[in-house]
Chain A
């Protein structure tokens, strides 16, 4: 198990390296360069522009530019954001906790709701209760997240005033206090709900379908033949098998939510990494774009690794040693 994990981590390194090359070259192929975001081409002196280009190393061959970038990257220097005039690391780190909070709350809501609904439907297939759950699932699957977001903002925030619709923190609240924590969580609830809509629907279906299939397996019949009560049959024998696919999805979720938050954060003007990503692309803030892309890459790889480890943890047939 340990060897397997170490081997997987070792393989991650060349993958990250390859992705960095692709990211860098793609960013460079886009119209404009680091400088065009900073200056107004009509107002500036062409000589100044040419000088600045030279100074910033933008005339060097591309592999040299790449070399500069990657060596800086490895030392923790992710460059400077042109739009915000801040080091990228500072910028991203200020946004990251918000997005992580969003991810954690979204996964929390997702797994609890999906587990309860999936178990409910899986235990009574083809009954009214089951049909009800499935209808909800289809609605959640069909509804685009931004439509859900707008509906939630209108009803919950505007009409009922229960939860705030934008930002990540109320104004004038001191960091470190209880109010601060409550306010942060309140601001994260609606965006998390929208983020979780699709996963809730798919995990509920997954669990329900797996439970129905597991209920027909031979080992369930064996357990019944031993006189095991029906409740234990479901909660122990069937569920323990059916949660396996769901648990493994946790790993993929990790990366997916950070990336998927892009639209949601924009709608809720929630200051997270996703919103920063979109803004930086439109502003041609390439250093930020590249840094966040690398971040997403690493998170996806780590997410995959976690998924594999979890899979081995819950399914004894998969232990690889």
Chain B
């Protein structure tokens, strides 16, 4: 049964752990991450700063610094192939062509000493046998498609001559140039102002529909999630704590963290004087609790078991999974429920 469910997954993360070496010891930044992205699906990954969203996306692309980081366990299956087993050269064939990525800071993402056009053509030359003339024409066409006006002129300009929104459009053009099946967008609009943000999101939606492309959109902005997502993955302290269909997430969040996040969105339609916050901070990598729920210290619904029993993620209703001991499914096997103990 489960086999069929995952047969046509575009991307599947299985039990992924990625860690960093700090003072000679391996500390996992993300632990036991499982989720899948289907073709043409838009999956939004949400979470606080430091929850591991970027580490996860960089792990997929194998872009983490090799010096002190490694994927310590798990598989990344893309179209059935395990990306963790690929060499650098093999990954280079995948990057930019099958999976593309755009980043958060358009201001620094482009090389300042090369023209925008030459950087755009670079992705073409990397993967195709193409003449300079054709590459240039294709680049102009790509820039037109992402909404850059007068592309014949912009192609010879340098990044510092363009605005943030235009640079991000160039990044998107570079990313979709070779019609990748999956686009990973790591907070693409966070550094832009709201009107530009709306335009870029429109553009992404447009491209997604035209190209039949899946998007993994990483963000901390629930507004973006509401706008773009089919499916939402909520991360906290390096773990996935909830996976849900987008409408169900907003209507009926399952995990206390998700509820707290939705609760802290300021409401314009109510007369509220105080903003709701989530007390406390995310535990640091070195102080991460190895047993029990990682959110227990800040959770308003925490009870005795929460610091003693490590919850596993489990499906708690149709299309929604959560990692919380409030749901019996999340207790690990062969564990006696606290409540049952009392009964006995």
Taking residues whose C-beta sits less than 8 angstroms from the other chain, chain B's interface range is 20 to 34
Chain A positions within 8 Å of B61 at CB level: 225
Say yes or no: A317-B112 contact (C-beta < 8 A), given A226-B96, A227-B97. Answer: yes
CA distance in complex: A316, B161 (Å): 10
Establish whether residues B112 and A219, one from each chain, have CB atoms under 8 Å apart when the complex forms. Answer: yes
CA distance in complex: A218, B110 (Å): 7
Say yes or no: A317-B108 contact (C-beta < 8 A), given A224-B63, A227-B94, A227-B126. Answer: no
Establish whether residues A225 and B63, one from each chain, have CB atoms under 8 Å apart when the complex forms. Answer: yes
Chain B positions within 8 Å of A226 at CB level: 95-96, 100, 122-123, 126, 174
- State whether the Cβ of A54 lies closer than 8 Å to any Cβ in chain B: no
Establish whether residues A229 and B112, one from each chain, have CB atoms under 8 Å apart when the complex forms. Answer: no
Shortest distance in angstroms between B52's beta carbon and chain A's nearest beta carbon? 18
Which of B91, B95, B108, B126 meets A219, CB within 8 Å?
B108
Establish whether residues A219 and B123, one from each chain, have CB atoms under 8 Å apart when the complex forms. Answer: no
Chain B positions within 8 Å of A217 at CB level: 108
CA distance in complex: A228, B61 (Å): 13
Chain B positions within 8 Å of A222 at CB level: 103, 109-111, 171, 174
CA distance in complex: A159, B100 (Å): 62
Size of the A side of the interface (Cβ < 8 Å), in residues, is 21
Main secondary structure of the interface of A (DSSP, over half): helix
Chain B positions within 8 Å of A317 at CB level: 112, 158, 160
Shortest distance in angstroms between A117's beta carbon and chain B's nearest beta carbon? 22
Establish whether residues A241 and B123, one from each chain, have CB atoms under 8 Å apart when the complex forms. Answer: no
Least CB separation from A238: chain B residue: B111
Establish whether residues B160 and A218, one from each chain, have CB atoms under 8 Å apart when the complex forms. Answer: no
CA distance in complex: A205, B278 (Å): 48
Most buried by A among B61, B100, B113, B174: B113
Shortest distance in angstroms between B87's beta carbon and chain A's nearest beta carbon? 11
- 9 new A-B pairs (CB below 8 Å) besides A219-B112, A227-B92, A228-B122? A222-B110, A224-B63, A225-B100, A226-B123, A227-B95, A227-B97, A227-B123, A227-B126, A240-B111
Q: State the A residues within 8 Å of B (CB).
A: 217-219, 221-230, 237, 240-241, 244, 314-317
A–B complex contacts, Cβ < 8 Å, 7 sampled: A222-B103, A222-B171, A224-B63, A225-B63, A226-B100, A226-B126, A227-B94
